[in-house]
Amino acid sequence: MRLQGKVAVITGGASGIGRETALIFAREGAGVAIWDMDQEGAEVAEHIEKNGGQALFSRVDVSKASEVEKALKEVEEKLGKVDILINNAGITRDGFLTKMDPEDWQKVMDVNLTGVFNCSKVVAQSMLEREQGVIINSSSVVGVYGNVGQTNYSATKAGVIGLTHTWSKELGKKGIRVNAVAPGFVATPMTEKVPDKILDKMKDKTPLGRLGQPEDIANAYLYLASDEAAFVNGAILQVDGGLVL
């Protein structure tokens, strides 16, 4: 068990990559806190508990600092101090630059970037007190190369790379590792909204010839969270089957 005795917070753990991560982390021995706006997260927590694991669901909007602070207190009371934070919650509001509604620009900033800031700020404070911990952020192949129709989203995912590098320097000195995963196109509810024509094109451009599966990304989170990655800090791990956009 690679995460025995650890406590992990997984944002966006109700669906897709986050759900798979919660299940895998629980199997590896972690107590898992799922922070999500979707009540479905309660069922993921129930499933883990039924299978002998330890889990807690809190209904949290990561873009609201007060909700994040309250949820952290609950985790500390019920599961203990947080060892691992997976900043996985994210949304898309796609559209061409000239047609993009300012509200769609702002909403994606609030969740994908401010959400990562809010969660990391409070959890890092507690990790600093113990001089240990791991923070893993969710970037994207789109944050590395850009993508047609994703002005807002690509800006947030590139921003996540910037703050990952910065925090790996600020917090690394105090024993806290900070890394990011940059997935390619993964089969989850997020990509179900993408027109088939475009998804097929993405598959064709991927040397491995398929979309990623949620466990492909969850296993990358697991590696970075485990002691096997004890010397990995400030890395942006591309898990994309070789896709170049």
Q: Which residues are identified as catalytic?
A: 153
| Helices 102-109, 151-172: crossing angle, 10 deg rounding | 20
The smaller minimum CB distance to ligand NAI, of residues 111 and 229, is found at 111
Least CB distance to ligand CAA at residue 141 (A)? 6
Query: Rounded to whole angstroms, how far apart are CA atoms 237 and 155?
Result: 18
The smaller minimum CB distance to ligand NAI, of residues 86 and 98, is found at 86
Query: Rounded to whole angstroms, how far apart are CA atoms 188 and 17?
Result: 7
Using rule CB under 6 A, residue 194 touches ligand CAA: yes
Which of positions 152-181 make contact with ligand CAA (CB under 6 A)?
A: 153
Using rule CB under 6 A, residue 11 touches ligand NAI: yes
User: Which of ligand CAA, ligand NAI, none does residue 118 bind to, with CB < 5 to 8 Å depending on kind?
Assistant: none
Least CB distance to ligand NAI at residue 175 (A)? 26
CA gyration radius for the chain? 17
Residue 85, SS3 per DSSP: strand
The smaller minimum CB distance to ligand NAI, of residues 60 and 222, is found at 60
The string over 175-201, giving b where at least 16 C-beta atoms fall within 10 Å of a residue's C-beta and e elsewhere, is ebbbbbbbbbbbebebbeeeeeeeeee
Please check whether residue 183 is in contact with residue 145, taking contact to mean a CB–CB distance below 8 angstroms.
no
Backbone angles phi, psi at 208, to 5 degrees: -80, -5
Terminal Cα-to-Cα distance of the chain (whole angstroms): 37
Least CB distance to ligand NAI at residue 21 (A)? 9
Please check whether residue 216 is in contact with residue 187, taking contact to mean a CB–CB distance below 8 angstroms.
no
Using rule CB under 6 A, residue 118 touches ligand CAA: no
Token couple for 93: 């509001």
Determine which residue in the list 58, 63, 88, 140 makes contact with ligand CAA, applying CB under 6 A.
140
Using rule CB under 6 A, residue 91 touches ligand CAA: no
Using rule CB under 6 A, residue 97 touches ligand CAA: no
Determine which residue in the list 25, 105, 185, 221 makes contact with ligand CAA, applying CB under 6 A.
185
Determine which residue in the list 8, 9, 10, 14 makes contact with ligand NAI, applying CB under 6 A.
14
Using rule CB under 6 A, residue 37 touches ligand NAI: yes
The smaller minimum CB distance to ligand NAI, of residues 198 and 232, is found at 198
In angstroms, how far is CA 128 from the centroid of its own chain? Answer: 21
Q: Which is it for the CA torsion 58, 221, 178, 116, positive or negative?
A: negative
Binding region for ligand CAA (CB under 6 A) = 92, 94-96, 99, 140-142, 147-150, 153, 185, 190-191, 194-195, 198
Binding region for ligand NAI (CB under 6 A) = 11-12, 14-18, 35-38, 60-63, 88-91, 111, 115, 138, 140, 183, 185-186, 188-191
